[in-house]
A and B are shown apart, each in its own frame.
Chain A
Amino acid sequence: MIQLIINGEPQQFECSLNLQQLLENMGLQNKRIAIEHNGEIIPRSKFPNYIVTEGDRLEIVVAVGGG
């Protein structure tokens, strides 16, 4: 088991996984989102090869209503 901090909340996963798998796991595949991994923005094209591991901090953002 590994623990990731996603949007400030600890989340458990079976093992290390890439960002594509992570999004599928969370039901967010094909959603309009952007990801920051340990403070670095990860381009969408890199999701399938980008592995996240124990203790990594992820921010997943979306567009919401705002002025």
Chain B
Amino acid sequence: MDDFIIAGKRYKSRLLVGTGKYKDFSETQAAIEASGSEIITVAIRRTNIGQNPNEPNLLDILPSSKFTLLPNTAGCYTAEEAIRTLRLARELLDGHSLVKLEVLGDSKTLFPNVVETIKAAQTLVKENFQVMVYTSDDPIVAKQLEEVGCIAIMPLASLIGSGMGILNPWNLQIMIDRATVPVLVDAGVGTASDAAIAMELGCDGVLMNTAIAMAKDPIMMASAMRKAVEAGREAYLAGRMEKKLYSASPSSPIDGISPMSSR
């Protein structure tokens, strides 16, 4: 079995999905179902004091018996904020230690601030968090995060929520070749082929939110992404044929071609 192992736990799906930007909880639930994902990201925010306390809560539709929740630090711009958010998440989720760390650099690009990210990772690892870390596609930074003790490296393929796809497959390839922990593309996937390409490169998984939530039909796109990640993984494992540049090779036998009969 080609299981995906994160923090010692086996998963069948290599597609991780976010829960943001959906129309309502029923759409969130249906999309997650269609994606086949088992690891689901959530954000930590102030409770809305004025609201009806009996309104359904996101965690009600994502039972921890069925899903591994991955609290994130979206919206944090310093190591301190990110650490605090994940400490709150740990309390909220009853001691849960698997987290997604992201420390952003600016609100326009949402590009990661890698210096603050490394700082936060150091503290979190010391506090026994299992850190899956969002980072740039810089192989040196990836190695540093791995050395700090992060359990998965999650480079952007392009900007968060941009849907621009994989802009630098070569950097991803270097990161994948050198990493001794799982590498997942996180951010930038726009459509199914992007996810397939990430997996064909040898990524261990793909994390996405907007590509599904903002599709015209999120549920159908979730299903497409599931297939793309599976197909990309199989293609990677199968090992692609070598490219023969500018030289064709017929698929049908050359021998035994029946000639036109002479009249």
Contacts and interface: CB of A to CB of B under 8 A. Distances in A.
Interface residues of B, number: 37
A63 B20 contact: no
B47 A60 contact: yes
A9 interface: yes
A63 B99 CA distance: 13
A62 B45 contact: yes
B88 A31 contact: no
Contact of B74 (A33, A41, A61, A67): A67
Interface in A14-67: 26-28, 31-36, 41, 43-44, 59-67
Interface string B37-57: 000011111110100011001
Contacts of A36: 84, 88
B43 A43 contact: no
B236 to A, nearest CB: 24
Interface residues of A, number: 26
A31 B53 contact: yes
A36 B28 CA distance: 29
A65 B84 CA distance: 19
Nearest to B64: A32
Nearest to B54: A27
Interface of B: 18-22, 28, 41-47, 49, 53-54, 57-59, 69, 71-72, 74, 84, 87-89, 91-93, 160-161, 187, 207-210
- 7 nearest interchain CB pairs? A66-B43, A67-B18, A67-B209, A27-B53, A34-B92, A65-B19, A34-B91
Given A33-B47, A34-B91, A67-B18, 7 more contacts: A9-B49, A28-B53, A60-B47, A63-B71, A65-B58, A67-B21, A67-B43
